[in-house]
Structure 1
Amino acid sequence: MAAQAAAAAQAAAAQAAQAEAAESWYLALLGFAEHFRTSSPPKIRLCVHCLQAVFPFKPPPRIEARTHLQLGSVLYHHTKNSEQARSHLEKAWLISQQIPQFEDVKFEAASLLSELYCQENSVDAAKPLLRKAIQVSQQTPYWHCRLLFQLAQLHTLEKDLVSACDLLGVGAEYARVVGSEYTRALFLLSKGMLLLMERKLQEVHPLLTLCGQIVENWQGNPIQKESLRVFFLVLQVTHYLDAGQVKSVKPCLKQLQQCIQTISTLHDDEILPSNPADLFHWLPKEHMCVLVYLVTVMHSMQAGYLEKAQKYTDKALMQLEKLKMLDCSPILSSFQVILLEHIVMCRLVTGHKATALQEISQVCQLCQQSPRLFSNHAAQLHTLLGLYCVSVNCMDNAEAQFTTALRLTSHQELWAFVVTNLASVYIREGNRHQEVLYSLLERINPDHSFPVSSHCLRAAAFYVRGLFSFFQGRYNEAKRFLRETLKMSNAEDLNRLTACSLVLLGHIFYVLGNHRESNNMVVPAMQLASKIPDMSVQLWSSALLRDLNKACGNAMDAHEAAQMHQNFSQQLLQDHIEACSLPEHNLITWTEGPPPVQFQAQNGPNTSLASLL
């Protein structure tokens, strides 16, 4: 018995020594691999060699699975060798499923592998993998929640928002059961964001009310609490802006701006939450700051505070450039594109067409780098080109760009915006497109079933109807539409629509010979247009003031208005010539496929400024 015990002890000692030796060579190789990975610059080839050197030692399954995961992760993140990365991750996932209590390796392998499948456009392989991982992760709260978020994101990218919302609802209920009100709020706010995208407003209101209560009642990490509040307020602000309610949103926007200031003063608390389901954050502080700048720019654009929009865009773009040096997150490129889209519209209004065209070109370059970004913003890009074409009086190109945008968009608000602008192109073109124009005007009829709930777009539709009636010589009808626009735009501080409506009403009264009433409209139109500043309305207003004062015998005032008109004309003419001479001007002919890679310089088309002068 003693001999057997001694032999058993000896065998155990030998096994322990072998395990210790195995651990020592493994740790040594792992240490070398990490050293090479974190070198500056990283030595990825040497890192991979060290990890591959583990396999000839015939390691136990745990070490084998972990090494496959590490190799797959390094190859996925640092090389273009997706085939080898996929092979290692698939092995890590396969082996780890046979090992009990090996959750981190198992679920990280599933998560990374599904990411890689999506990158290779193998979504049909990613979905069942994530579903299997979700099914077996229910006893691991952190990974269960993370995988639910990941599958919901995948469905969102496929534009299957119903499935994504269902998964987020499942996640919210699971978080509630495991006692994580913080992550429950994240799931619910994410679901609210998708419901807003789907325009399911009846479901959004009660959900946001519940989210507001959860956020206020949750007592935890101050940064996490404030980030939830930022998420909640961003949804509220975008909800108001989508509805075109620029004045009503101001209290929410002010709260959001105060909230981001609070977050910027808080220090990151390194104490980990006691509940593993709480180990999430919505966005880094720096990303949230850019997002708040972005919604402020959106508000300023809708309200017609264009100098303010430009100031916040400059701040946001400066911060984005700094962040992109350290972070290649796709969301930063999305922020950049949306900011540029808004500042382009701003430049076109303020009479900086050449700069606007160069910024449209920037958006093209960003979209060239990401097919997904182009897919999400192609319609907006053609809309911007359509607006630019209108500003340089290339009406056939404007029609082609707007028609392309309509073909590419399924977003109702963008559709209504494009149709409104296309209708204004047809109105200015006269009788060439009568049938199409009548059809468009009927589809955006603000008196009947307007297709979207946006207050701003409905007010713009009344303006377009007024413009059409003016061109038709039906002045009383035009006045009715324009007074409706004024009533709606004044209710929500839509300054640019107010200025456009006032100057058009002033023009109608001038044509009717009512000079006093015309003056009462044109003077405030000019004041408001100067404040925005809107170059086209200032040009129009100064021409009317010149003619009004001449008709009333006010020679000095007429001369002053004529001088102003001449100044605006010269500025616009100079900018017009500069824009049309840029090689980027060739973009106006692009209506198919991805953005052109380069532009050939040209003298510029034979465009007319007649409509401006």
Structure 2
Amino acid sequence: DGSEAGGAEQSPRRAGAEPGAAGAAQPGPYLAHPCGCPFWSPRPSIPPKVRLCVHCLQAVLPRKPPARMEARTHLQLGSVLYHHTRNGDQARGHLEKAWLISQQIPQFEDVKFEAASLLSELYCQENSVDTAKPLLRKAIQISQQTPYWHCRLLFQLAQLHTLEKDLVSACDLLGVGAEYARVVGSEYTRALFLLSKGMLLLMERKLQEVHPLLTLCGQIVENWQGNPIQKESLRVFFLVLQVTHYLDAGQVKSVKPCLKQLQQCIQTISTLHDDEILPSNPADLFHWLPKEHMCVLVYLVTVMHSMQAGYLEKAQKYTDKALMQLEKLKMLDCSPILSSFQVILLEHIIMCRLVTGHKATALQEISQVCQLCQQSPRLFSNHAAQLHTLLGLYCISVNCMDNAEAQFTTALRLTTHQELWAFIVTNLASVYIREGNRHQEVTLQFIGKDKSRPQLPSEVRIPTNPNIPGRE
């Protein structure tokens, strides 16, 4: 059975390696030996023989195996069906059985919590978020004696809240994770929790809370002694947040020292070789991003800085490098974060093209953004307002004011982001001024207490003035 599903030879899974852990062997679904020991194949079939694998695993269940083997087999079936097929109903059924059976078996944490993790992912894909949350909460509650899984499940639930834009709940969970990591003696994972929390606080613009948190993170990162790649990864995470913080505040000159450190750091990490020695503390079995992804991210923040500083040629140079590397990575890696990086890079370079007068190229790149967003509903939801804004800017550049107005009006309906809203309204005002339309006026509203849409204590009305055409 093992040779049919995964290859000709099998060897025991590395002792102590947690499934999904950073630095651990990642063989995919491993097969169950008749004695119940987990085995995996170091040479999987290419392409995978999924149907044969499923048939082999299904053949185990009618024989009424022991509870441990039954639970593990259901987990393996659910995992294979979830990752390699579209049989969501069957995958869910097997994972639910694995979760149910494994809860009744003592000292069976790897199957129990992996089933909970995969099952919650499947629920989220099926838009059953309200079912995934209590499952993860229960798994978190009973995993406190298993540091790796407790931290991993906390990260997963925090990510789920973040995707729902419930950043307060996500920050609370990350704070719980940071304290738990401190208790179990994992300063590395504590830093990951705190840096993740700092990232969300930046998204919420809670700058007063960000300052002390980043200061604490900086101290932890500098004092932690461990795997060089993990240490440099923490430093990259920390410096990316610092650079982003300065750019959000418009402090373009102040960001230069941090940006230089970040660029030096990514050069250092690119020369380091992955260390196969697993950390002694199971709570340290995490990583933030692969170093190839970090390299693209550093290019991205460099482009952001160059755009704000007015270095358009430099922005174009780094964008070209980043996009070239992204294309290479996407041939081997289907991670959704790569598409997000690509869209953000294109959004910046499109603005650069419009400023420099390369309108046709800008339109082609807007088309690329549309194609990328069509591949992912979540990506489209997050970038629809920006996309309509870019189309509006393009319409202004080719003097199609009616179309520009339509694009900006659509963008206003799609965004609740304060800064983007103000940017759109300002450009819409310029359209009305250029058109000299006496019957149009723009109501500028600033963020008030209601975060659902930009509002203002007092409204400022800007009437158009036909006597100054072209003046903004």
TM-score by length of 2: 0.87
- Aligned Cα root-mean-square deviation (Å): 2.5
Instruction: Show the counterpart of 2:214.
Output: 208
Whether the 8 Å contact between 2:343 and 2:372 is mirrored in structure 1 is yes
Q: d(CA) in 1 for partners of 2:173 and 2:36?
A: 40
Please say if 1:274 is aligned against 2:274: no
Which of 74, 83, 90 aligns to 2:89? It is 83
Please say if 1:357 is aligned against 2:363: yes
Whether the 8 Å contact between 1:76 and 1:85 is mirrored in structure 2 is yes
Instruction: Show the counterpart of 1:137.
Output: 143
CA shift in 2, pair 1:24/1:40, >3 Å? closer
Aligned positions of 1:454-493 closer than 5 A: none
- 1:432 aligned counterpart, secondary structure: coil
Q: d(CA) in 1 for partners of 2:192 and 2:418?
A: 27
Which of 97, 104, 116 aligns to 1:110? It is 116
Aligned positions of 1:488-503 closer than 5 A: none
Please say if 1:427 is aligned against 2:433: yes
Aligned length: 429
Q: d(CA) in 1 for partners of 2:344 and 2:152?
A: 28
Please say if 1:300 is aligned against 2:335: no
Instruction: Show the counterpart of 2:397.
Output: 391
- 1:362 aligned counterpart, secondary structure: helix
Instruction: Show the counterpart of 1:287.
Output: 293
Whether the 8 Å contact between 1:110 and 1:130 is mirrored in structure 2 is yes
Q: d(CA) in 1 for partners of 2:274 and 2:312?
A: 35
Instruction: Show the counterpart of 2:54.
Output: 48
Please say if 1:407 is aligned against 2:407: no
Q: d(CA) in 1 for partners of 2:257 and 2:470?
A: 40
Instruction: Show the counterpart of 2:68.
Output: 62
Instruction: Show the counterpart of 2:248.
Output: 242
Instruction: Show the counterpart of 1:583.
Output: none
Please say if 1:327 is aligned against 2:317: no
Please say if 1:231 is aligned against 2:229: no
Q: d(CA) in 1 for partners of 2:36 and 2:343?
A: 45
Q: How much identity, in percent, do the aligned residues show?
A: 89
Instruction: Show the counterpart of 1:152.
Output: 158
Instruction: Show the counterpart of 1:186.
Output: 192
Structure with bigger gyration radius: 1
How far has the Cα of 1:25 moved from its partner?
Answer: 4.6
Which has the larger share of helix? 1
Q: d(CA) in 2 for partners of 1:136 and 1:26?
A: 27
Residue 245 of structure 1 aligns to which amino acid in structure 2?
Q
CA shift in 2, pair 1:261/1:433, >3 Å? farther
Whether the 8 Å contact between 2:36 and 2:69 is mirrored in structure 1 is no
How far has the Cα of 1:40 moved from its partner?
Answer: 1.0
Q: d(CA) in 2 for partners of 1:405 and 1:229?
A: 37
Whether the 8 Å contact between 2:95 and 2:118 is mirrored in structure 1 is yes
How far has the Cα of 1:56 moved from its partner?
Answer: 2.1
How far has the Cα of 1:472 moved from its partner?
Answer: 5.7
Q: d(CA) in 2 for partners of 1:139 and 1:286?
A: 34
Please say if 1:73 is aligned against 2:79: yes
Q: d(CA) in 2 for partners of 1:416 and 1:77?
A: 42
CA shift in 2, pair 1:179/1:27, >3 Å? closer
- CA offsets per residue over residues 62-121 of structure 1, 9 Å max, x none? 111011111101110000111100001000000000000000000000000000000000
Whether the 8 Å contact between 1:393 and 1:611 is mirrored in structure 2 is no
Q: d(CA) in 2 for partners of 1:59 and 1:444?
A: 65
Instruction: Show the counterpart of 1:587.
Output: none
Whether the 8 Å contact between 2:300 and 2:341 is mirrored in structure 1 is yes
Whether the 8 Å contact between 2:262 and 2:298 is mirrored in structure 1 is yes
How far has the Cα of 1:383 moved from its partner?
Answer: 0.7
Structure number with greater CO (CA < 8 Å, separation at least 6) is 1
Please say if 1:370 is aligned against 2:380: no
Q: d(CA) in 2 for partners of 1:24 and 1:137?
A: 26
Q: d(CA) in 1 for partners of 2:36 and 2:221?
A: 44
Residue 288 of structure 1 aligns to which amino acid in structure 2?
M
Whether the 8 Å contact between 1:26 and 1:54 is mirrored in structure 2 is no
- 1:55 aligned counterpart, secondary structure: helix
CA shift in 2, pair 1:433/1:288, >3 Å? farther
Whether the 8 Å contact between 1:426 and 1:433 is mirrored in structure 2 is no
Which of 291, 314, 318 aligns to 2:320? It is 314
Q: d(CA) in 2 for partners of 1:420 and 1:192?
A: 30
Residue 321 of structure 2 aligns to which amino acid in structure 1?
K
Whether the 8 Å contact between 2:36 and 2:68 is mirrored in structure 1 is no
Where in structure 2 are there 5+ consecutive unaligned residues? 1-31, 452-461
Residue 254 of structure 1 aligns to which amino acid in structure 2?
K
Where in structure 1 are there 5+ consecutive unaligned residues? 1-22, 453-464, 474-609
Whether the 8 Å contact between 1:34 and 1:47 is mirrored in structure 2 is no
How far has the Cα of 1:371 moved from its partner?
Answer: 0.5
Which of 199, 204, 214 aligns to 2:205? It is 199
Whether the 8 Å contact between 1:72 and 1:88 is mirrored in structure 2 is yes
How far has the Cα of 1:57 moved from its partner?
Answer: 2.0
